[in-house]
Structure formats: structure tokens, C-alpha cells
Amino acid sequence: MSAYHVPHHFYADDSQLFDTFKSSEHSQLQCKSNLEACLASTRSWMSANKLKLNDEKTETMVISTVSRQKKFVITDISIGQSSIPFSPLLKNLGVLLDSNRSMDKQINRLVKTCHYYLKNTGSIHKVLTKDATATLVQTLILSRLDYCNSLLFGISSSKLHRPLKIQNKAARVITLTSPRCHMSPILNSLHWLRIRERIDFKILCLTYQSFYNSGPSYLQDTLTHYSPALMTTTVTCCPKL
């Protein structure tokens, strides 16, 4: 793949190729041609080594704004004898990604799943200790709210309101407080950050790890060390005689 200069990620049973192109027709066709050549080479290597590229499980997506998608002249990627059309939605490591980066489907599923576990936890919290309830909430709800939450950075407050309501309900289940109570003291007592603050914290952690070479290399390559220019200050003293 390096021969075609195609960035990629490899996982245990999954491989991902990705590339960028401009809005022009020439750039689109060039990107499509390069990816197809890379896939053909990969397919030949796998075949020579008694392996098979599974066309049926292959998915493709173009991520862009809605206005730019209207300018696309390419609609699919060819792999062998198969033509894989671009999908508007696909799952990547458990996260639902849509082609226009709205994250609506991911938030809908996240809220639905968390609400299910929160409802079940709330139905038995009377027979649980506060610590046991907190452990269930941390494991079943907060872990899902935090998983890949950096993808929600910059998203509108209206979209984050639904996960925030789930977090607030989870806090009330643990503390057995009324919905009329103000949330700030409750969250402070649990030492919980709000949803947007949790997203910021995740990004800061990833940045710190990448800066000190303990994060993924593809994130380290995106960082640029900022060194502010030194400023010199001259103090002039004019004593009166």
C-alpha cells in the first residue's frame, strides 16, 4: 500500500484504506483510480498467499459536506468484479458514521441504548447500595457516553442535550435526588464532568499522549509544536534632577 501512498489502518480482522481529494472531477477520478489500483494489488497478494478479500463485507463512504456531495462524479469503487457503491452510513469500531458528519444516527443509538440500561438500573436501585448503583452506571452508561466521544467535538449544543439528559438521569439514580434539584451540586458531589467537558477532556488526553509519543502515530503526525516568539521589554528610567 505504501507504493500507492494510500494511508491505512490495520486491525485484527479488518483493514481500512482512506484518502482525500478535492472537489474537481480530475481529483475525484484520480483518487478513485489510485484506490482501485491499490485494492487490485492487495487482492493479488492475498490470492498468492491463499487468502481472500471479502467483497461482500467491503464498504465504502465519502465523507464531505452536503453541498460538496452534490458535485461528486464518482459513485462507487470497483474491487475485482464487484462494484461497491458509496454508503451514506456505516459502522466503524462500533460507531455509526454518516457521510455528512452529522453524527445523528450515532447519538440516536447511544441515547436509546443508555436509556435502556438506565431504566433497568433504576428499577432495581432500591435493593442496591449507592456504591453498587454507581458501579452499574459507570459500567453500563458512562462508559458508552465516553466511548469515542471525541468524534462529537464541535457538535451543536442541541444535539448534545440528549446525552446530557441521560447523564443527569444517571446521576439522579445514584444520588436518589428529585428532578427538581439543580444538577451542578449533584454532578460535583459525584466528581463528574458534563458531557461537553468530558469531550474536551478526552481530546486533551489524546493530545497529551500524542505529544509525549505515547499516542497513535497518525495523531502525532498532526501535531505541531507551538513556540511563541520571545518578546523583549525595554524599561527606560528618566529620573528627575
pLDDT tens readout for residues 180-234: 889 999 999 999 999 999 999 999 999 888 888 887 787 888 888 777 776 555 5
d(CA 7, CA 217): 12
d(CA 125, CA 205): 33
Q: List, for residues 56-115, the tens digit of each pLDDT value.
A: 788 888 888 888 888 888 888 888 788 889 898 998 888 999 988 889 999 999 999 999
Reference 121, options 132, 108, 105, 109; nearest CA is 132
Residue that is written with C-alpha cell 524599561 in the block: 235
d(CA 241, CA 199): 62
Residue 137 and residue 174 in contact, taking contact as beta carbons nearer than 8 Å: yes
Is the model's pLDDT at 44 over the cut of 90? Answer: no
Is the model's pLDDT at 240 over the cut of 60? Answer: no
pLDDT of residue 111: 95
Q: How many helices (H) and strands (E) does the chain have?
A: 9, 6
DSSP tag of 86: B
Residue that is written with C-alpha cell 523583549 in the block: 232
Q: Which residue has the higher pLDDT, 134 or 54?
A: 134
d(CA 71, CA 28): 10
- Across the chain, what does the average pLDDT equal? 86
Q: Write down the pTM of the prediction.
A: 0.81
- Residue type (1 letter), 171: A
pLDDT of residue 241: 42
Q: Residue 4 in 3-state DSSP?
A: helix
pLDDT of residue 5: 82
Reference 128, options 195, 67, 174, 193; nearest CA is 174
Q: List, for residues 127-158, the tens digit of each pLDDT value.
A: 889 899 999 999 999 999 999 999 999 889 99
Residue 39 and residue 77 in contact, taking contact as beta carbons nearer than 8 Å: yes
Q: What is the CA angle 160-119-153, rounded to 5?
A: 15
Helix, strand, coil tally for the chain in percent (to 5): 55, 10, 35
